[in-house]
Amino acid sequence: MKKIRRMIWILTWLFLAGFSILFGPDLWVKIQASQQATQFLKHAAKQDFEEAFDRIYFYNGAYDEDVTITKDAAKNNWVTRNKMLFTEGTYLKSYDNLSVRIDDGLPIGNVDLLMIEKGKEKRYKNVYISFSKKDKWKVGMLQTMKESNWEKPYSGHVVQ
């Protein structure tokens, strides 16, 4: 009986070790990207743009080129344009159905957004979320099938 129990424990640990090796890294990427997207959307919906910016992957050239702008300048630019968009009556009111999955080792996501555009509510289903990584996975951009005027301000693309 002792040998059977020992064999069961060994097989269980081998299974868990194999599972962790195969799925652990992808699971960690998915969890990190999901947390960043959740925090970004939560802060953006509260118009706390300074905190939302900390979850954004910012860039000032092409998406995959090196950044040539300082973080402070990028943050100032991003926060200013989103505050201006808010004063014009366009902002994120709420979100739901956030999902993140791994595709070819990279996280991608979808979310439903309730936006206020010039004072009127507009719902966007399955908004694509891209992620990119510098030190950790961050939200790169939100993209709908119909290019909306809020997409670029909410993206990480900043210019000097």
| pLDDT score for 23 | 60
Which pLDDT does position 63 carry in this prediction?
63
Q: Return the pLDDT at 3.
A: 79
Render pLDDT for 50-63 as a digit per residue (tens, 0 to 9).
Answer: 999 999 988 877 76
Contacts by 112-117 with C-beta closer than 8 Å and gap 24+? 113/142, 115/90, 115/91, 115/148, 115/150, 116/89, 116/90, 116/91, 116/92, 117/89, 117/90, 117/148, 117/149, 117/150
> What residues does 138 pair with on adjacent strands?
132
How many other C-beta atoms lie within 10 A of the C-beta of residue 72? 8
Rounded percentage of the chain residues whose pLDDT exceeds 70: 91
Pairwise CA distance, residues 71 & 25, whole Å: 28
Residue 17 confidence (pLDDT): 65
Given this structure, which CATH class describes domain 2-154?
alpha beta
Q: What is the pLDDT of residues 10-22, one digit of tens each?
A: 878 877 666 656 6
Contact 49, 83 (CB under 8 A): yes
Q: pLDDT of 84-100, one tens digit each? A: 999 999 999 999 999 99
**How crowded is the C-beta side of 158, counted as CA atoms within 13 Å?**
25
What's the pTM?
0.81
Taking only Cα atoms into account, the Rg of the chain, rounded to an integer number of angstroms, comes to: 20
Ranges under pLDDT 50 in the chain: none
Number of other residues whose CB lies within 10 A of the CB of residue 56: 24
Closest CA to 40 of 100, 116, 104: 100
